[in-house]
Amino acid sequence: MGKNLKGKECGKGIYQRKDGLYSARYYAKNGKRKEKYFETLPEAKNWLADTRYEERHNLIVTSPDMTVDKWFAYWVENIICDLAPNTIRNYQERYKWNIQPVIGSMCIADVKPMHCKAVLNRMETTYAGSTIRQAYITMGTVLKSAVMNDIIVKHPMHGVRYTKPVRAADDIKFLTVEEQEKFLEAAAHSQNYRQYALLLETGLRTAELIGLTWDSIDWKKHTLTVSKSLECRHSQKCWRAGPPKTPKSYRTIPLTDKAYSILKSCYEEKDSRNEAETLSQILEYTDSRSGERKYLVMRDLVFINRRTGEPAKNSSYDTHLYKLCDEAGIKRFCMHALRHTYATRAIERGVQPKVLQQLLGHASIKTTMDRYVHVTDESLANAVRLFQQTTPPVTKKGVERA
């Protein structure tokens, strides 16, 4: 037990510093020490009791001086912990670089619309519209959650808007039919051809492709089930398994003949491929639907690099794509553009948006409509031809009735 400056016991976890302040501290479940200073001993005891209760019961105790920083930390660790790692990382980056410098240290109850607007205004000259939109969504989601949990009474972002334009849907990169043919021709003899071709046949996200294992494929039903993802954490120099991006991303996709043929050819070669020591790992992750622990056996991965025997990183796929684009004489694009292309081809061929939403694993039909349903020159020409074929002929007496 700590003591005050007169040598009297203050209680477990509390002591008085030479400057007269009382230090209250304890170790959280994650091993990190939490410490705060107070002018009086009762204040230190109350804070310590509240935070220990919060830690023990996995709750957050509302206090008049709760900061945005404290609420954000709790929100990440306890409320959105079941989201995909990439999504959580995006929230954390926007908070760290844009939101925290302006309102992080503020008492959350004191945050007003003008403070939220200040966050966006500071980004105006140096950030793209899409990044400002991400910060807007992050800040709005964090504060809305505080309202829903009775941390604050009123949402401080009412009336707050960002003004910098976001990239329009038709600016999103996808390949035209001609570009797609040129690209596949250039990629035909490359080691990653089957990965690229499969994305164009299924619309998988890159992390879903990298994390694809043999148990995800039903050879009899000709289907592929998406239930996990895999990504390389460059900062930690390790591979991390996780659930798909959202609960709606769990899905079973009927395979086209070409997709089935691609996977079958990979399966026939799996026993003769070069495998690195990395593939001996079994990665644990949490199923975001059931909360159960799941395991990804890396030796069962469908796609690995032929030369290294390890999974290919997203960045290495993009680097390889750039070379193929230069060879094909088309504008460079990244892996995600293949998913855009799949969606565009599907719409051009008459796939209904609601069906496409399920195939892509979108949580909202709005995402499918806004992000992936492009009006291409070819689809416009087809629409005019269809209109022309079904338009009744005009006679001298007017339009004939069918």
Query: Where are the domains positioned within the chain?
Result: 1-59, 63-167, 177-380
Please choose, from the candidates 97, 101, 84, the residue with its C-alpha nearest in 3D space to the C-alpha of residue 361: 84
Architecture, CATH, for domain 63-167:
Orthogonal Bundle (1.10)
Query: What are the DSSP calls for 295-352, one per residue?
Result: EEEGGGBS---TTTSSPPPHHHHHHHHHHHHHHHTS----THHHHHHHHHHHHHTT--
Fold observed for domain 1-59: GCC-box Binding Domain (3.30.730)
Return d(Cα 300, Cα 307) in angstroms, integer. 17
Beta pairing partners, 291? none
Residue 27: predicted pLDDT: 78
pLDDT higher than threshold 50 for residue 402: no
Range 161-188 average pLDDT: 84
Q: What is the pLDDT of residues 364-386, one digit of tens each?
A: 888 788 776 655 566 667 777 77
* Range of lowest pLDDT (28-42, 111-125, 151-165): 28-42
Architecture, CATH, for domain 177-380:
Orthogonal Bundle (1.10)
Residue 336: predicted pLDDT: 92
pLDDT higher than threshold 90 for residue 72: yes
pLDDT higher than threshold 60 for residue 259: yes
pLDDT: is 4 or 122 the higher one?
122
* Range of lowest pLDDT (153-157, 167-171, 190-194, 258-262): 167-171
Residue 372: predicted pLDDT: 64
SS3 at position 18 = coil
| Average pLDDT, rounded, for the chain | 87
Return d(Cα 247, Cα 76) in angstroms, integer. 18
Q: Which helix (H) or strand (E) holds 224?
A: strand 223-226
pLDDT higher than threshold 90 for residue 25: no
Return d(Cα 27, Cα 19) in angstroms, integer. 23
Q: What is the pLDDT of residues 267-295, one digit of tens each?
A: 999 999 999 999 999 999 988 888 899 99
Q: Could you give the C-alpha distances from 311 to 123, 237, 275, 368, in angstroms and in order?
A: 37, 13, 10, 29
pLDDT: is 89 or 91 the higher one?
91
pLDDT higher than threshold 50 for residue 399: no
Question: Could you check whether 63-167 and 177-380 share the same CATH topology?
Answer: no
Residue 20: predicted pLDDT: 87
Confidence class for position 392, pLDDT limits 50, 70, 90: low
CA 106, 110, 115: angle at the middle one, nearest 5? 75
pLDDT higher than threshold 90 for residue 182: yes
Count Cβ atoms below 10 Å from residue 210 Cβ, excluding itself. 24
Range 230-247 average pLDDT: 86
Residue 12: predicted pLDDT: 84
Hey, what are 50's tokens? 């509240």
